Amino acid sequence: MRIAVISDIHGNDLAFAAVEADFQRDGIDQVVCCGDTLQGGAQPAEVVRRLQELDCPVVMGNADDFLLRGNESDNEEPPDAWHDAVREWQLPLLSRDDLAFIAALPPTVEVPLPNGKRLLVAHGSPQHFNHIIMPDTPEDEVRSMLGPIDGAIVCGGHTHLQQFRQLGDSFFFNPGSVSLPNRQDATEGDRRVNPWAEYAVLTVEDSGRETLEFRRVPYDVDRLLAMIDASGMPDSHRLSDYYRAE
């Protein structure tokens, strides 16, 4: 069984399309999404349509919750005036059905695996979508955030950083971000995010063999910049500056 794991699309359908084209060439059996699908991007309606066409499990992320509920959100990341303005701009682009689709997203999803295990899909962690798991997060904190996983393979997004962490006879992984891959090495004058789309492929064989592959897919960032700048998004340069080298 081959599972494409995507996360943190943030309304960037151009990057999402590149990722879909990449995994469709490989005979993927299942797609799962770790949340944060629409908020902040120039193409929220297009992303909803692509997710619905894939008919894949999607979990609720903190940005999804903020898009739906604004200042009433459980999101612990306080929005600034720009995020509020972008939210108000995005909402009319989405139909009632689009918003209902997002509102129905569960906090976690489980996918049965051929070797008797299961894949537990969340955003930050199975306990809360705001939990932050980084490569240097202490082991006891990670296990507390994950909670009782009972040997499941766990995947989550939120940090926009591809990572792997061993958990006894199982593991946790983050597939990175389709739209805004974390650029930890950025210096002044660099793009604030990496200019590609990230995801992961988990392969689980009947024999019990498990393989995890992190992928980076190129796409037309210049085209994305033109779309952002022409979108009508309030202060669109705030988003395009993430992708544009000075």
Question: Which whole-number Å values give the CA distances from 187 to 163, 193, 246, in the listed order?
Answer: 22, 11, 11
Residue pLDDT, tens place only, 142-157: 999 999 998 899 999 9
In percent, how much of the chain has pLDDT > 90? 83
Q: Check pLDDT > 80 for residue 183.
A: no
Q: Which domains does the chain have, with CATH numbers?
A: 2-108+176-243 (3.60.21.10)
Q: What pLDDT sits at residue 77?
A: 75
Q: Check pLDDT > 70 for residue 179.
A: yes
Q: Check pLDDT > 90 for residue 72.
A: no
Residue pLDDT, tens place only, 192-217: 788 899 999 999 998 889 999 999 99
**Position with higher pLDDT, 74 vs 17:** 17
Question: Which whole-number Å values give the CA distances from 26 to 2, 103, 138, 222, in the listed order?
Answer: 9, 31, 36, 27
Question: Which whole-number Å values give the CA distances from 196 to 14, 23, 95, 131, 154, in the listed order?
Answer: 11, 15, 29, 25, 24
- What is the C-alpha separation between 194 and 33, in angstroms, rounded? 20
Q: What is the pLDDT of the chain when averaged over all its residues?
A: 93
**Tokens matching residue 201:** 């492929």
**Tokens matching residue 223:** 């085209």
> How confident is the model over 70-99, as a mean pLDDT?
91
pLDDT band at 63 (very low <50, low <70, confident <90, very high): very high
pLDDT band at 182 (very low <50, low <70, confident <90, very high): confident
Segment (H or E) for 61: none
Q: What pLDDT sits at residue 187?
A: 62
Q: Check pLDDT > 90 for residue 79.
A: no
Any idea how long the chain is? 246
Partners of 211 in the beta sheet?
A: 203
Q: Check pLDDT > 60 for residue 15.
A: yes
Nearest alpha carbon to residue 246 among 204, 179, 186: 186
**Position with higher pLDDT, 191 vs 126:** 126
